[in-house]
Structure 1
């Protein structure tokens, strides 16, 4: 809601933006000609700007509406003090103390006049810019709280970083975020020092990582497997967790770390409740056909959503296998060919020129002859059609 001129003036006054306070007030003089608060606010702004003549005019107008307000009395008293009219200043301070016996500024003004109060003392007070010590209080600047909160926030972040950096480097997880009773995925400080194997340094691994890289991969695998995305317990980054765990299994990681990676994979496999669907498999979790073809073993157990065409049905013992030709986003060019297995006969015709979108799990490994095999295991599919370069879902199983 838009502030009134007086509300703006009070806002600027409290924040010591005195010139802006007057700029807000002065155009609205006719609107507030009968307002005590208006004249008091203007007088205080002028006083703090050392515009004593204007402050006196504002205070005199305010006095027409209230002659007993302590803030107004203190403002007028300091003007009398500045002019050396200590008798009237004392009278105004006494009027304040009658209402507020513990008023600090009135007591301080009385003490100054009693102990010093000569023209020379007052001149020295003004010359040393100490007259402001007797100005009426306008409260604590709210911006101080904002600044203090910022300092506290910075201090809290710094403390958190310090505690994080100085913490014992053991990794211990007690319960996964997706509700699984997780194994105790424990890596001690010594384990972390030897996270990469020192045995058989010339052994052939698919991936060679430094100890720091292996620790980062392991932490990310667990985090992605257990932490819900955006506070939604139904959505996890298990696909990335499986990918990270596969990196460890195919790397120079120690046997202990590989064992922990297998534990993470086992936890993911056991959590059937959170297996992905078309709607819950995140965009960043959808691996491309080219990525999988480049390194099939790395994506073993991961989920994909690809579009393409199915050919050459083979019916087995309770299974239906096809050749799946995966197409690019334009649906014009095939990117790769995979065997895909359905566990039950498709409810809709899927062979031939009709495009289908498929959610499937990758199964990859090394065959007996030393080659790498890849099989897709279908979970859901959507028959699709092309219409003016757009692909539209017809129905979903």
Structure 2
């Protein structure tokens, strides 16, 4: 797909680098400016598709197709989106129509061949559960990963004879044994005795044994990149009677934790969980469904009250203020929200990262 617009080129590079949430947040506020540009919807729709948000992908890809019915990449993405919805009949129809217009399109041809092989009972269901969508999507341009410049500098250092023998030996040793440790794990190793101090004026008074048990649990989550779970355990430690030196180390660990993504959030903290003790969920990520009300648009952000659990209009779990630190089109639909918990005293608010309007 050829893109000439500077802003769209920027978003396309992020898309190629796998930064789907960034693409969505960057493009959503620009819909009024690009509402007649099919390639805009191609990029936005594919970002939603890659992020696993099939309803949003379908909505924006179809908008783009209405503007340009012959747009090959949009049609290919829609075919894959049908597969993601487990609608093989629509995927086959889409690929056949593409081949009628583009007989040499290998992607659509490969898609049809793949489905024809699924003749045995149960094979189609297993395929739809585990298939790699990128097999049937146009290849993205190669983008150098963020660590590439650092790798080049290390290579130069080795060539010029800077003494890196010990670090390299350590890395190779870890790779060779299959036990490469995540950066930051060494901080857990530094925790020793005398990590508790006598102070009952804390949220969670604990014995040294209890603190060590939670540290062990936090390390398990950290080593397995379950960062939201790790942050919850670290919050427990920070709310306890730990020594100040340990508190500083725990705060340092918390800074190494990554943000959660819509499809990789490993926890399911409820409104009741967070409301019962917000401090234990500070900076944790939640994914809740509900209805936004009292929507207020500001210069570069949006604010609203979120009625959690009220999507069917019957059960209200609670109401919480939300800030969206970017502009977006707010649709009159049920909203699924990925957001970070911010604590203010005994109350909390949410800072949104991803808005997913449920269109069906």
TM-score range with shorter-chain normalisation? 0.3 to 0.5
Structure with greater contact order relative to length (CA < 8 Å, sep ≥ 6): 2
- Give the alignment's TM-score, normalised by structure 1: 0.43
